């Protein structure tokens, strides 16, 4: 009897210790995020105002705003997505809905995973040699967008595939069982059900792309431009690169420090807005999908 009590006690104690450690580690994640955010906010919030986000940089980046970098980042994100969304989504549909299990599918899958594992600086180099030099786009928004698009492609493919896999097979069977073709089934049943998750995946990849520095380093990014880009063959400034430049190789690093924190804050806010948007859209389409 006494022995049994002992065992129960020790079981409880072990459980308490284990849960304490788990809890501690979980909260530490929240704490880390909180610390990073508050660090950036405290340091950066003082420089943020209307002029900061709508004016050109001045006096060797020590004064003025970051307007061209914001615009450049928006252009690059939009450009990369125009490229990556259709290709990625269609590839995922093809792989998940059409190809039978076999060597071909395994190869495509493995290659997609390999693509995802390539360091982003290598994408930058590749983009430079292909888009900038070989195709003669020069340092340009189009070259940067294509490079970023390549980087986003595996993410888009994978999230779309996951979204399609999550669609219960009985929906497909029910549709095919009514004489619908595979394409009708995909378009009218599978895609609407998977849509909220596809959108979420896509928007999260936007978040990822908007923060990348290495791929735009050799393909589009400009240290400073006195005017906004007017065509897709122009160079552009971009937030992450701007941050990198004024923190490392400017002529007045100390003076531009506050601007660097302000830039970081703007970048974080953009990514945050994108994530919130993803959540909102998923909920919105999640409700809508039940109806149509």
Interacting residues with another protein (CB under 8 A): 100-102, 168, 170-181, 184, 188-189, 192-193, 289-292
Q: Give the shortest CB-141-to-another protein separation in angstroms.
A: 39
Report yes or no: 170 and 157 within 8 Å, Cβ to Cβ: no
Closer CB to another protein, 231 or 292, in the complex: 292
Strands 63-64 and 57-58: antiparallel
Q: Give the shortest CB-187-to-another protein separation in angstroms.
A: 10
Q: Which of 85, 67, 244, 93 is nearest to 161 (CA)?
A: 93
Q: Give the shortest CB-167-to-another protein separation in angstroms.
A: 10
- Start-to-end CA span in the chain (Å): 64
Closer CB to another protein, 90 or 178, in the complex: 178
Closer CB to another protein, 67 or 171, in the complex: 171
Query: Can you say whether residue 102 is alpha, beta or left, with left for phi > 0 and alpha for psi between -120 and 50 degrees?
Result: left
SS3 71: helix
- Residues 159 and 29: their CA atoms lie apart, in Å, by 24
Element (H, E) at 58: strand 57-58
Q: Give the shortest CB-191-to-another protein separation in angstroms.
A: 11
Residues pairing with 236 in the sheet:
221
- Residues 176 and 178: their CA atoms lie apart, in Å, by 5
Closer CB to another protein, 125 or 289, in the complex: 289
Q: Give the shortest CB-195-to-another protein separation in angstroms.
A: 10
Closer CB to another protein, 189 or 220, in the complex: 189
């Amino acid at each position: 009897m006494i022995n049994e009590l002992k065992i129960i006690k020790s079981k409880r104690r072990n459980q308490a210790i284990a849960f304490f450690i788990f809890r501690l580690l979980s909260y530490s994640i929240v704490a880390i995020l909180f610390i990073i955010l508050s660090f950036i906010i405290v340091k950066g919030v003082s420089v943020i105002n209307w002029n900061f986000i709508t004016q050109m940089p001045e006096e060797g980046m020590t004064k003025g705003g970051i307007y061209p970098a914001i615009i450049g980042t928006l252009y690059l994100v939009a450009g990369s997505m125009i490229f990556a969304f259709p290709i990625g989504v269609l590839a995922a549909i093809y792989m998940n809905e059409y190809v039978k299990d076999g060597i071909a599918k395994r190869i495509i899958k493995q290659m997609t995973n390999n693509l995802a594992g390539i360091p982003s600086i290598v994408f930058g180099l590749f983009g430079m040699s292909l888009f900038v030099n070989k195709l003669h786009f020069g340092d340009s928004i189009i070259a940067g967008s294509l490079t970023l698009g390549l980087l986003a492609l595996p993410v888009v493919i994978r999230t779309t595939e996951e979204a399609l896999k999550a669609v219960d097979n009985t929906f497909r069977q029910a549709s095919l069982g009514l004489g619908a073709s595979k394409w009708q089934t995909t378009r009218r049943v599978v895609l609407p059900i998977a849509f909220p998750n596809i959108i979420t995946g896509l928007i999260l990849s936007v978040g990822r792309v908007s923060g990348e520095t290495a791929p735009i380093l050799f393909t589009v990014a400009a240290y400073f431009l006195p005017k906004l880009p007017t065509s897709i063959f122009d160079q552009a400034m971009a937030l992450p690169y701007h941050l990198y430049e004024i923190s490392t190789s400017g002529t007045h690093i100390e003076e531009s420090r506050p601007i660097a924190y302000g830039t970081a804050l703007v970048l974080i806010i953009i990514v945050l807005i994108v994530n919130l948007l993803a959540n909102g859209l998923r909920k919105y389409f999640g409700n809508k999908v039940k109806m149509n």
